[in-house]
Structure 1
Amino acid sequence: MRNSASYLVVAAALLALFSSVVYANDPSSVQDFCVAAKNPNAAVFVNGLFCKDPKLVVAEDFYLAGFNKAGIIKSVQGSLVTPANVAQIPGLNTLGISLVRIDYAPRGINPPHTHPRATEVLVVLEGSLNVGFVTSNPDNKLITKVLHKGDVFVFPIGLIHFQFNAGHIPAVAIAALSSQNPGVITISNALFGSKPSIDDDVLAKAFQVDKKVVNFIQSKF
C-alpha cells in the first residue's frame, strides 16, 4: 500500500509539472516581434487593435463590398492579391481569420511565399491552377496538384507554397487564412530584395552560383 501511495504521489507531481509546462506557453503572436518598452508610456497595444465600444458597433464594421470584382493586374508575376483582413474589416480583430482574393493572368503566378502565422485553404473559382508546397528540412518534398474550378487545397502554416496559372485564360481563387493578419514572406523578394542587401557571398554560397548571377538577380528587385 505504501509503494502504491508513493507511485500516486509521483504521478500526481509529474502531471502537475506537465500541466504547468503546457499552460506556460505564450499565445500565438499576430505580429513579427514586440520589442520590450523601457518606458511604459511609450508602449503600444500588443495584439491587434484597440477595441471599439460595443455600443458603437455597426454592421459596416463586419462588411466589405466588391470582393467579386477583379482588379487590374500590373505585377510582372501576373497576379494580384486583394486582402480582406482586419485592415479592411475591423470586425475581424481578435477573431483569427481572414480572406484574400487572387486574380491570375494567363501564365501568371503567385510566387513561392510563406504565411508565418496562418494555414491557408484555397478554392478555385475560375480557371485552373498548378499549386504546391514544400515540406520542411531535411526532406523538402514537393506536394503538388492541378486544381480546377471548385477544387480546394490546403497549405500548412509556415511552409513555402505557390500557385501558377498554366492555362491561357484568367483564373480566380479565394483563400481563407487562420489569422486576422497572416503575414506574407515572398521568398525571392526577401532574399534578393532585402534592404540592406544580403551579402552576395552569402547568396552565392547558398545557391551555389557565381556572384555575378546573384548580382543580376538582385538588380531585378
Structure 2
Amino acid sequence: MQRARSLVAFVLLALSSSFASAFDPSPLQDFCVAIKDPKDGVFVNGKFCRDPMLATANDFSFSGLNIPGNTSNKVGSNVTLVNVDKIPGLNTLGISLARIDFAPYGGLNPPHTHPRATEILVVLEGTLYVGFVTSNPNRLITKFLNAGDVFVFPVGLIHFQFNIGQTNAVAISGLSSQNPGVITIANAVFGSNPPINLDVLTKAFQVDKNVVNYLQKQFWVNNH
C-alpha cells in the first residue's frame, strides 16, 4: 500500500512539473506586428501587437537588398540584416535574413556567433571559403563555395566567411530567429566596454601584456 502511495505521489509530481513547464509551440494568431507603445495595440500571445485589422503590407516588407553594401572597411565586408527591427511583421515568426557583401580577395565576415539562430547561407556571386568550429573538442569544418552553393552554420557556433575570389562576392543568409543577435569574437574580447581585465586576457591567450594592450587599442570594425 505504501509503495502504491509513493508511486501515485511520484506521478502527480511529474505531471505537475510537466504542466508548469508547458508552453505553446507556435504563435496563437496569424501574426503579431511589433509595436513600441502598448496603448496602440492589443495583448496577444504574451506580446503587445498592433491590432491585426490595422496591419498593412508595409508591416511585412523591406526594400533595398538589391543595393550592394559598403565594403570599404578594415574587414572588407558588409552585412545588411533584415530582422524584426526592419520588418515589424516578423515578430513571433522566428525568422530573418541578411545580405552579405564581400570585397575582392580578402573580404571577410570575421569569426562570430549568432546566440539565437542557426544560419543557412547561399552564395549568389563569387567564391567563398567558409567554416565553423565545433564545441569542445574544437574541430574546424570548412568548405569552398561557389555561386549556387549552400552551407549551414549551427546555432551558437563560431563561424566565418572569406572571399577568396578576385571579384566581389555576395551571399544571402537565412536565420532561424527574428532577432538572431551577433557576437563578433575579436570585437567582444578586445573591444568590450569597459575592457576585460588585462590579466584575464594575458593568461587566457598566453601572450605578453603588450600584445593585449595593442589589441585593445585597435578600432574593431562592426560590419553590420
Task: Check 1:132–1:57 CA distance in 2 against 1; reply closer, same or farther (3 A cut).
Answer: same
C-alpha separation in 2, matches of 1:204 and 1:22: 48
Q: In the TM superposition, what whole-angstrom CA distance separates every residue of 1:153-179 from its partner, at most 9, and x where no partner exists?
A: 111111100000011111000001011
Q: Among residues 146, 159, 180, which one is paired with 1:148 in the alignment?
A: 146
Q: Residues 147, 11 of structure 1: CA spacing in aligned structure 2 closer, same or farther, 3 A cutoff? A: farther
In the alignment, which residue of structure 1 is the partner of 2:211? 213
Q: In the alignment, is the contact (CA less than 8 A) between 1:48 and 1:94 conserved in 2? A: no
Q: Is the 8 Å Cα contact of residues 49 and 93 (structure 1) preserved in structure 2?
A: no
Give the 5 Å matches for 1:48-59: 50-59=48-57
Partner of 1:69: 67
Would you identify which runs of 4 or more consecutive aligned residues in structure 1 move more than 6 Å? 25-28
The TM-score normalised by the length of structure 1 is: 0.81
Q: Secondary structure at the match of 2:50?
A: coil
Q: CA deviation at 1:65?
A: 1.2
Q: Equivalent residue for 1:184?
A: 182
Aligned counterpart, 2:157: 159
Q: Distance in 2 between the 1:26 and 1:214 partners?
A: 46
Matched residues, number:
200
- Inter-CA distance 97–212: structure 2 relative to 1 (3 Å threshold): same
Which among 86, 92, 99 is matched to residue 84 of structure 2?
Answer: 86
Cα distance in 1 for partners of 2:123, 2:19 equals: 38
Give the corresponding residue for 2:34.
none
TM-score for the superposition, normalised by structure 2 = 0.80
Partner of 1:131: 130
2:28 match: none
CA apart distance, 1:98: 0.2
Residue 16 of structure 1 deviates from its aligned partner by 6.6
Q: Cα–Cα, structure 1 residues 19 and 149, in superposed 2: closer, same or farther, change >3 Å?
A: farther
Determine helix, strand or coil for the equivalent of 1:214: helix
| Residue type at the aligned position of 1:185 | I
Cα distance 1:201–1:49, how it changes in 2: closer, same or farther (>3 A)? same
Matched, 1:97 2:98: no
Distance 2:50 2:213 in 1: 49
Question: What's the % identity of the aligned pairs?
Answer: 63
Structure 1 CA distance for aligned equivalents of residues 108 and 46 of structure 2? 31
For 1:191, the aligned partner's letter is V
Alpha carbons of structure 1 residues 196 and 134: separation in structure 2 relative to 1, 3 Å: same
Instruction: Mark the CA change 1:13 to 1:49 in structure 2 (over 3 Å): closer, same or farther.
Output: closer
- Could you tell me which runs of 5 or more consecutive residues in structure 2 were left unpaired when the two chains were aligned: 26-42, 220-224
DSSP 3-state at the match of 1:94: coil
Say if 1:154 and 1:19 are closer, same or farther in 2 by CA, change over 3 A: farther
Q: Return the match for 2:14 from 9, 14, 17.
A: 17
